[in-house]
Amino acid sequence: MPISESMVQDIVQEVMAKMQIADAPTGKHGVFKDMNDAIEAAKKSQQIVKKMSMDQREKIITCIRKKIKENAEVLARMGVDETGMGNVGDKILKHHLVADKTPGTEDITTTAWSGDRGLTLIEMGPFGVIGAITPCTNPSETVLCNTMGMLAGGNTVVFNPHPAAVKTSIYAINLLNEASLEAGGPDNIAVTVEKPTLETSNIMMKHKDIPLIAATGGPGVVTAVLSSGKRGIGAGAGNPPAVVDETADIRKAAQDIVNGCTFDNNLPCIAEKEVVAVSSVVDELMHYMLTENDCYLASKEEQDKLTSVVLAGGKLNRKCVGRDAKTLLSMIGVNAPANTRCIIFEGPKEHPLITTELMMPILGIVRAKDFDDAVEQAVWLEHGNRHSAHIHSKNVDNITKYAKAIDTAILVKNGPSYSALGFGGEGFCTFTIASRTGEGLTSASTFTKRRRCVMTDSLCIR
């Protein structure tokens, strides 16, 4: 068929539209060539923010929520286009979650004691300019969520985002500053550099005007931040196991686990990365995963092929991270049905696809001889990250035993992992879960200093 001029124009327009998303504005708000200049700008802006009333800060946060909602789809598409990871639909949901459920200034509370000797308050004050290092797995979600909490606490923030997600992160930083300006606040409440590198990260970590650093990422960055000599909030890696015992609603457990595991192609650090089930329920659980939840059962040969692709040379292949199940299967020559959501198989806990935090919808199922054995294997698989773990059980003694043994920041019972982020569960949202340093799910109050204000012998009117 001859190609007409209008067909060519259509193709050109489509390519241009894609390029516009890929090359979306690096913008003027909050983006600097030099890290020192970025920090200086954030410092000036913090001088303004710290004098603002709580009401003024909240107005900016309200405007940020609006901007996130308006731009949820653009941000989701940019994230997927730039990183090649995750899926647009789930990323849109994640942005709405950030907009709706990230705490603002209501998280900044006061503790008071009053009595015969006067009035004493504990108030939460800002640190100043906070340094934040963010991952490529939830790039804009983390930038937006961190800034909302940090600003509510009276801080401004300088980001060193993952280089693989710099355009998306910069787009989010632009939005944050536009929201601030629109709500009558200063520019540069959140700043970054055009080209974030390990060098710019080091400048930020060592800078005299950065008293606190929040690191969200794998073990390398958390260790680097905790070795910096500064106070650090370490939100590190996980490998969350989902335990299933014989009292669980097995059909629902299969559905919850697959839903949690496949959300944004398994990118969230809290997502189910493997299952440990007592022997008597393994077959039923896998039956429901296969018949009702669009899973694909990988043969031994396919597991070996997947291992050699996903963990090529013993290292996690970044080209596989955040890819969907069908794409992963196509990488080993399997043409799976279009609706395939998750690759499952049964294997020992030492299987490389089970013991490694893969961040893709491959779910190994480990058989345990009884509940105690399940707990022991799950604790081993969590690798002491103390990050997230999940359980499907109606036996409260079992749940309690598991919770104490695994000792994680998050433990979801009888639901998909994402309910821990307030998505189909109670509670607020965050994309920085301080597993290593123990603050757990971070919010505005995490980014504040506690100050004791004492008035002696007056202001008590009881």
For residue 14, count CB atoms less than 10 angstroms from its CB and return exposed for 0-12, middle for 13-18, buried for 19 or more.
exposed
Q: What's the N-to-C CA distance of the chain in angstroms?
A: 90
One residue of 25, 89, 184, 220 binding ligand NAD per CB under 6 A: 220
- Of 136 and 368, CB closest to ligand NAD: 136
Q: Does 391 bind ligand NAD (CB under 6 A)?
A: no
Integer CA distances (angstroms), 37 to 32, 192, 404, in order:
7, 9, 47
Span 231-250, contacts to ligand NAD by CB under 6 A: 235-238
User: Least distance in Å: CB of 318 to ligand NAD?
Assistant: 8
Q: Is 184 helix (H, G, I), strand (E, B) or coil?
A: coil
CB 24 within 8 A of CB 171: yes
Q: Which of 186, 217, 240, 322 touches ligand NAD by CB under 6 A? A: 217
* Token pair 């919010």: residue: 443
In the bound complex, what is the minimum distance in angstroms from residue 164's beta carbon to ligand NAD? Answer: 7
- Using CB under 6 A as the binding rule, whether residue 221 contacts ligand NAD is answered as yes
Determine the size of the site formed for ligand NAD (CB under 6 A).
27
CB of 234 vs ligand NAD, minimal distance in Å: 8
Does position 17 interact with ligand NAD (CB under 6 A)? The reply is no
Spatial strand order in the sheet of 118-126: 111-115, 118-126, 448-456
**What CA–CA distances, in Å, run from 159 to 6, 24, 365?**
44, 19, 38
Nearer to ligand NAD, 201 or 293 (CB): 201
Q: Which of 75, 157, 226, 269 touches ligand NAD (CB under 6 A)?
A: 269
* Other residues' Cβ atoms within 10 Å of the Cβ of residue 187: 17
**Counting contacts by CB under 6 A, is residue 433 touching ligand NAD?**
yes
DSSP 315: S
Contacting ligand NAD within 91-120 (CB under 6 A): none
- What element of type H or E holds 441? strand 440-441
Of 399 and 433, nearer to ligand NAD (C-beta) is 433
Q: At how many degrees (to 10) do helices 54-70 and 72-83 cross?
A: 70
Q: Which is nearer to ligand NAD, 135 or 347 (CB)?
A: 135
- For residue 190, what are the β-bridge partners? 157
- Least distance to ligand NAD, CB of residue 198, Å: 5
Per-residue mark of binding to ligand NAD, 344-373 (x: CB under 6 A): -------------x----------------
Closest contact distance (angstroms) between CB of 42 and ligand NAD is: 17
The window from 112-120, 229-237, 278-286, 454-462 that contacts ligand NAD (CB under 6 A) reads: 229-237
Position among 71, 102, 134, 446 found at the interface with ligand NAD (CB under 6 A): 134
Binding mask 158-197 for ligand NAD (x = CB under 6 A): ---xxx----------------------------------
Q: Which is nearer to ligand NAD, 285 or 412 (CB)?
A: 412
Give the residue with the Cβ less far from ligand NAD, 163 or 211. 163
Burial 87-112 (b: 16+ CB within 10 A, else e): bbebbbbbbbbbbebbbbbebbeeee
Nearest to 106 by CA among 42, 43, 61: 61
Q: Least distance to ligand NAD from the beta carbon of 222, Å?
A: 8
Cβ neighbours, 10 Å, residue 279: 13
Q: Which residue has the tokens 């490389």?
A: 352
User: Which residues are bridge partners to 368 per DSSP?
Assistant: 278
Q: Spell out the residues 6+ positions from residue 74 whose beta carbon is closer than 8 angstroms to its own.
A: 21, 24, 171
CB 366 within 8 A of CB 383: no
75 binds ligand NAD (CB under 6 A): no
Question: Contact, 135 vs 85, CB < 8 A?
Answer: no
Residue closest to ligand NAD, measured at CB: 217
d(CA 59, CA 184): 9
| Span near ligand NAD by CB under 6 A; candidates 44-52, 210-218, 278-286, 307-315 | 210-218
One of 201, 266, 355, 356 touching ligand NAD (CB under 6 A) = 201
Question: What would you measure as the largest C-alpha separation in the chain, in angstroms?
Answer: 93
Our CB check for ligand NAD shows the closer of 215 and 248 to be 215
State the residues that interact with ligand NAD by CB under 6 A. 133-138, 161-163, 198, 201, 216-218, 220-221, 224, 235-238, 269, 357, 431-433, 435
